[in-house]
Amino acid sequence: MSAASPVTAPRKPSARARLLAAADELFYAEGVHTVGIDRIIEHAGVAKASLYSAFGSKDGLIRAYLEGRHQRRRERILTALQRYDNPRDRLLGVFDVLAELAASASFRGCAFYNASAESPDGGVVQEVCDENRAWTRALFTDLARDAGARDPQALAAQLVVLYDGSSVGARMDRNAGAATTSRTVAAALLDAATAGPATRTRGPGMQRGL
């Protein structure tokens, strides 16, 4: 018999990965400014020098945290929308994805809204949040155009407000059904935005020349 192959121990995540995982957990649960770097370092189990080596500063860590959230959000939504067969369902499916996320025990609302609410104008938080919101508007605009909306940008603007409200409502009321309610409203807005022009019937008093 051949000698058994040695068991290779799993590689421990890098200091950077551990810091980012700790930041993702603590920043989302408690806030990007409430949580200090000492707690992040302790939670990650790394030396303080590792944080400055990997991210340069706390702002650098906050940027990486928000960019990671943005990346995962994009992937989650785009992957989920692949299960829908037509443009109308794909547009409304964005609200289905939010409902699924809001139903999770760890849901604490929008990470970008939360970070923005506790940060001054300008700086890294606003920069990454602006990028995330631009992507959301572009997504709704593209989906609205594919679904046949007469004015995709106008419909997208309405849907972004609706999406924001359902995210806040799900968090504040602890009710994932807010996104389902918003889906119903979104369907009505989409129907109105894709319906043909209304036909006006002339009555006796509206005949030309009278």
Tell me the pLDDT tens digit for each residue of 82-103: 999 999 999 999 999 999 999 9
Q: Which CATH number fits domain 13-56: 1.10.10, 1.10.287, 2.60.40, 1.20.58?
A: 1.10.10
pLDDT the model gives residue 11: 76
Q: Is the pLDDT of residue 207 over 80?
A: no
pLDDT tens digits, one per residue of 6-15: 555 567 899 9
CB of 167 within 8 A of CB of 102? yes
- The reported pLDDT for the residue numbered 176 is 87
CB 32 within 8 Å of CB 62: yes
For the segment 106-126, the average pLDDT, to the nearest whole number, is 95
Q: State the average pLDDT over residues 156-171.
A: 96
Mean pLDDT, rounded, of the chain? 90
Give the model's pLDDT for residue 12: 82
Element (H or E) spanning 154, and its range? helix 152-172
Q: In the prediction, which pLDDT does 65 show?
A: 98
**Every domain of the chain and the residues it spans:** 13-56, 66-194
61 near 40, Cβ under 8 Å? yes
Does the pLDDT at position 202 exceed 80?
no
Q: What is the mean pLDDT of residues 136-162?
A: 98
Homologous superfamily of the 66-194 domain (CATH)? Tetracycline Repressor, domain 2 (1.10.357.10)
pLDDT at 196 over 90: no
- Residue 129 reports pLDDT greater than 90: yes
Task: Report the distance separating Cα 125 and Cα 66, nearest Å.
Answer: 8
Enter the pTM of the model. 0.86
**Stretch 23-42: mean pLDDT:** 96
